[in-house]
Structure 1
Amino acid sequence: MNAIGRFLKDVIKNRAMLLFVLPATVWFLFFSYLPMFGTVIAFKEYRFSDGFLNSIINSKWVGFDNFKFLFATEDAYIITRNTLLYNIVFIIFGLILAVAMAIILSEIVNKRLAKLYQTGMFMPYFLSWVIVGYFTFTFLSMDRGMLNQILNFFGFESIQWYSEAKYWPLILVLINFWKIIGYNSVVYLAAIMGIDKSLYEAAMIDGANKWQQIRRITIPMLAPIMTILTLLAIGRIFYADFGLFYQVPRDSGALYSVTNVIDTYVYRGLKVTGEIGMTTAAGLYQSFVGFILVITSNYIVRRFNKDNALF
């Protein structure tokens, strides 16, 4: 039997499983692989008025001019710094909090109560950033915000939260964790549920307390999935959550020094100048740096433990 015949036989044999992965395959094909052909726009003077295909084929080749335009502004350092620092905080502390939350939920004896807590922490993930932005505004509004009312009650003056940049790094970090920690902890909670219970029983027989069981059994068993998810997060370290940095601060110009990231900068530039080439250059730059970081991080992990590496 030739190669084509064997391939068709395998397809027929595994047709049920292939149907399950078909929707995801189509999604990745249209939204991840086909757009790769458009990366050439980053090196051309794209004009949308000429049509999509005609512009890609016939547009003037400008080389790295779009990249120069992206980083020629004085905001280049600010947006790169903000994107990197926020994501570093999200990756490190997000990992710690998600693992801690999963361990706490797994230790709750009353499983119905544990499911109630899990659902309560999981729900914020499904709220859009527009809604979260309005929730935040109800707390931080200058006139009727809850926080200012509390400050006034204790004799302090109201704070113009949307004009004071120094408060927003902490505000954005707290809001991001509130929204995603419950969702991220689900993966670790599932991994904890899969750990062999006999390991804990043996540890209890040997006299290990609960903290020693967590430190010697739970965390080492979670190490592979923690490493993989961290590597994937490092690959997107140059990407920022647009909704968090645009909707929550309500696009306040006074806060740009701490809320402006690459994604919001590109969006504002696209609205004002319509430079599609510059936008594509920013996306290519983010993807390229993320690719290098994933390869480098995975190489470092493989040097210490091949089993925990992504590939």
Structure 2
Amino acid sequence: MAAFFRNVIKNKVMLFMVLPGAIWFFFFSYLPLVGTVAAFKQYRFNREGFWASIYTSKWVGWDNFKFLFNNNDAYVITRNTLLYNLVFIILGLVFSVAMAILLSELINKRLAKLYQTGMFLPYFLSWVIVGYFAFSFLSMDRGMLNQILAGFGIEPIQWYSEAAYWPYILILVSLWKAIGYNSVVYLASILGIDKSLYEAAMIDGASKWQQIRNVTLPLLSPIIIIMTLLAVGRIFYADFGLFYQVPRDSGTLYSVTNVIDTYVYRGLKTTGEIGMSTAAGLYQSVVGFVLVILSNYVVRKIDKDSALF
């Protein structure tokens, strides 16, 4: 115990730095874990408060989980959630790393900062605003895309009624919003690479592409693996705003835009079943945890130093 307090005093500055984050995690990540018991109850709110309501609610076991899967939509929402996230992980990684490398290669650093700021700004826009941006392009009557098509003599397309186009639209919008933010992490890693490695490669006659392939990418691989493992942990989570606000909750697009999060939201709005919503969140968390453990185990078998833990 004495050694513990000595370490606390020795590292007090570092501990004070992480204290705000630790408090945030305690109140918003760890404390709510107590409420996961609602996933196994038919939650009914009473005047005594949230926790008392959990205690007095009827225990229903796995019934809330059965609601998620014993219907025709279970396959669709699971398929959409998994496939979209797989595409987001793969394409997001490729484009973010590529953009970071391009920015690092710009000679004019002021111009590079301007480009970086312009790419970073979409991340701060809410999905409501992005949804209106998309509507300004895709509106049937005054949308920019339909006006361009009309200029070529092509009939306007009812974008919000044609499900076939939306997988591509959602992927494009997601990449546009997230690439700038994700590329910052890789750009910081690239800027931390020892410049003498590039100088040695240039002396050996390596081209710019050979420098990227043999110096930049190998040294980026640890951070790439860590970011990918973290993304895999949320593969059963979908960005609610992307799948609800951008398609404007159009019922004709549910076959390609309905994911676990939007399905639970609509179910909660219709039935008011908090237990079902909690069950969905618990299911997503458990699956994400298992996937991170398995992915990290595979990485440790291949390269122990690149594993997350």
Q: Is the TM value for this pair above 0.5? A: yes
Give me the whole-angstrom Cα distance separating, in 1, the residues matched to 2:44 and 2:274.
8
* Aligned mate of 2:28, from 22, 31, 35: 31
Give me the whole-angstrom Cα distance separating, in 1, the residues matched to 2:23 and 2:281.
22
Displacement of 1:86 after TM fit? 0.2
Where 1:47 maps in the other structure, the secondary structure is coil
Give me the whole-angstrom Cα distance separating, in 1, the residues matched to 2:85 and 2:295.
15
Match runs of 1:246-265 below 5 Å:
246-265=244-263
2:296 aligned with 1:307, yes or no?
no
Give the corresponding residue for 1:47.
44
Match runs of 1:167-186 below 5 Å:
167-186=165-184
Give the corresponding residue for 2:109.
111
Displacement of 1:10 after TM fit? 3.0
* Aligned mate of 2:10, from 10, 13, 20: 13
Match runs of 1:152-231 below 5 Å:
152-231=150-229
Match runs of 1:259-278 below 5 Å:
259-278=257-276
Structure 2 gaps of 5+ residues are none
Give the corresponding residue for 1:288.
286
Where 2:154 maps in the other structure, the secondary structure is coil
Structure 2 counterpart of 1:161, which letter? W
Displacement of 1:64 after TM fit? 0.4
Where 1:250 maps in the other structure, the secondary structure is coil
Give the corresponding residue for 2:129.
131
Give me the whole-angstrom Cα distance separating, in 1, the residues matched to 2:208 and 2:226.
26
Deviates more, 1:83-92 or 1:45-54: 45-54
Give me the whole-angstrom Cα distance separating, in 2, the residues matched to 1:109 and 1:211.
16
Give me the whole-angstrom Cα distance separating, in 2, the residues matched to 1:222 and 1:168.
33
Give the corresponding residue for 1:151.
149
Give the corresponding residue for 2:57.
59
Give me the whole-angstrom Cα distance separating, in 1, the residues matched to 2:204 and 2:83.
44
Give me the whole-angstrom Cα distance separating, in 2, the residues matched to 1:112 and 1:219.
25
Structural RMSD (CA)? 0.9
Displacement of 1:73 after TM fit? 1.8
Deviations 1:253-311 (A, max 9, x none): 11110000000010111111001010010001000110110011111111110011111
Structure 2 counterpart of 1:147, which letter? L
Where 1:144 maps in the other structure, the secondary structure is coil
Structure 1 residue ranges (4+ consecutive) displaced by more than 4 angstroms after TM superposition = none
Deviations 1:68-116 (A, max 9, x none): 0111121111100000000000001110000000000000011111111
Report how many aligned residue pairs link the two structures.
Answer: 308
Structure 1 counterpart of 2:25, which letter? F
Match runs of 1:65-80 below 5 Å:
65-80=63-78
Deviations 1:150-177 (A, max 9, x none): 0011100001101111100000000000
Displacement of 1:7 after TM fit? 3.0
Structure 2 counterpart of 1:33, which letter? Y
Deviations 1:171-202 (A, max 9, x none): 00000000000110000000000111111111
Structure 2 counterpart of 1:27, which letter? W
Deviates more, 1:12-21 or 1:31-40: 12-21
Structure 1 gaps of 5+ residues are none
Displacement of 1:210 after TM fit? 0.3
Give me the whole-angstrom Cα distance separating, in 1, the residues matched to 2:52 and 2:188.
50
Structure 2 counterpart of 1:276, which letter? I
Identity %: 76
